Amino acid sequence: MANSSRAEPAAALFLCLFAVQASVIALSPVLPEVAADFGVSTATAGQLRSVSGLVAGLTAVAMGRLSGRLGLRELLLAGLAVLAAGALLSAAAPAFALLAAAQVALGAGIAMVLSGGLAAAAEWSAPEQRARVLSWALLGQPFAWIVGMPAIGLLGGLSWRWGWLAVPFLAGVLAFAAVARRPADGRREPPVGAWRLLRRDRRVAGWALGELFAWSAWAGTLVFAGALFVESYGASTAAAGFLLGLAAVAYLPGNMLARRHVESSARLLVAAAPPLAATIVVVFGAWRPALGVSAALLALLAFVAAARTIAGSALGLEVCAQRRVFAMRIRTAATQFGYLLGSALGGIALAAGGYGALGAVFAVMFLLAAAPHLAALPRWTHRR
């Protein structure tokens, strides 16, 4: 029974984060079809992801009162219901404006599920199992990329609407059923505002700033990596998608390896991984001798990013041990705003200086992500 009790939260939270990521990527493989169906440009259709990302970030920052009233189980159930409803509305949207409105629901659901799911990884597990449960929860996101992208693309041959039903909607329903089996939580967090807590605790503020910069650099690289493959090597869209999928596969061993050390060395990992990632992304942007070399560099970057991601999440749960939902709300906001900031700065760098400048900008952001943790490392080492 002990093994099954440990497996149950890990499986439920894996499904939660799978559903979140499936909602994030659902438009990517079928964006031209969506644009053609509604008579808008592909660029305009691409702003739908910005809508859900912005709403998710704002919701994560502002949901203090909601997380104060609901336990983790109830927060996750509410978020999964909203997320599934957003996916269903997306599939049924008869007009582009209604599809955009559905992304608002998706963004709110993403914030609630991502914040609650990662906090639950700590609350629903014994201390000695915490790294394992957190690791399995975080693996839901790359698995959604690996499984969801081909499934949505395949169903897109029939209609882009089927992808919404078969992947994010179905994943949301399965996750809802898994979480509903959990007992209700009695613990609530005080509904204190996010900005007040960040101003009050420099450790938390430094961690949050590091997460924002790291996610901006990593997400921005993902946004433009496919274009680098196509424009630098003349790769087909299908080939670029395949190589991005391979990068997601490389994410898995990075996660699994880092979880062995995250309990004892989370601060060290979040301080050391970004400089390594900065080196890789500079080379990725500036040195493009062959498609295979660039694909290998992206996979290596994904490996390092996975280790930094689990370490950053574990560190947030540690520095906010009494306010874990708050910590994961901040992480969720950093993730979503990171996509927006990375896309914006990457676009400016690409227009100004090409892929070499793009890599240099993301390298600086990775280094900025390490700065708060490098500054705190001597004090942390002394305490240990």
Q: What structural domains does the chain harbor? A: 1-191 (1.20.1250.20), 192-384 (1.20.1250.20)
3-state secondary structure of 361: helix
Q: Specify whether the CB–CB gap between 134 and 121 falls below 8 A.
A: yes
Alpha-carbon gap, residue 118 to 133, rounded angstroms: 9
The 8-class DSSP code of residue 201 comes to -
Task: Give the contacts of 262 (CB within 8 A, at least 6 positions apart).
Answer: 131, 134, 135, 269, 310, 311, 314
pLDDT of residue 357: 94
pLDDT of residue 124: 86
Burial of 258 from C-beta contacts in 10 A (0-12 / 13-18 / 19+): buried
Q: Which of 19-23, 70-74, 150-154, 331-335 has the weakest average pLDDT?
A: 150-154
Mean pLDDT value of segment 335-362: 89
pLDDT of residue 305: 94
pLDDT of residue 321: 63
What's this model's pTM, rounded to 2 decimal places? 0.82
Q: Is the per-residue pLDDT at 375 higher than 60? A: yes
Give 274-284 pLDDT, tens digit per residue. 999 999 999 99
CB-CB neighbours of 202 under 10 Å: 12
Task: Give me 40's structure tokens.
Answer: 């808008």
More confidently predicted of 151 and 307? 307
Q: Specify whether the CB–CB gap between 66 and 115 falls below 8 A.
A: no
CA 44 from centroid of its chain's CA atoms: 23
CA distances (Å), 237 to each of 225, 226, 275, in order? 12, 8, 31
More confidently predicted of 339 and 22? 22
pLDDT of residue 2: 42
Q: How confident is the model at residue 43 (pLDDT cuts 50, 70, 90)?
A: low
Give 88-116 pLDDT, tens digit per residue. 999 999 999 999 999 999 999 999 998 88
pLDDT of residue 131: 83
Type of residue numbered 12: A
Q: How confident is the model at residue 1 (pLDDT cuts 50, 70, 90)?
A: very low
Q: Is the per-residue pLDDT at 231 higher than 50? A: yes
More confidently predicted of 216 and 150? 216
Q: Which residue, among 169, 143, 158, has the nearest Cα to 26 in the 3D structure?
A: 169
Alpha-carbon gap, residue 180 to 124, rounded angstroms: 14
Alpha-carbon gap, residue 207 to 198, rounded angstroms: 10
Task: Give me 251's structure tokens.
Answer: 């994410």
Mean pLDDT of the chain: 84
Task: Give me 303's structure tokens.
Answer: 């490996």
CA distances (Å), 369 to each of 184, 205, 213, 340, in order? 37, 12, 5, 16
Mean pLDDT value of segment 251-257: 90
The 8-class DSSP code of residue 290 comes to -
Percent of the chain with pLDDT over 70: 89
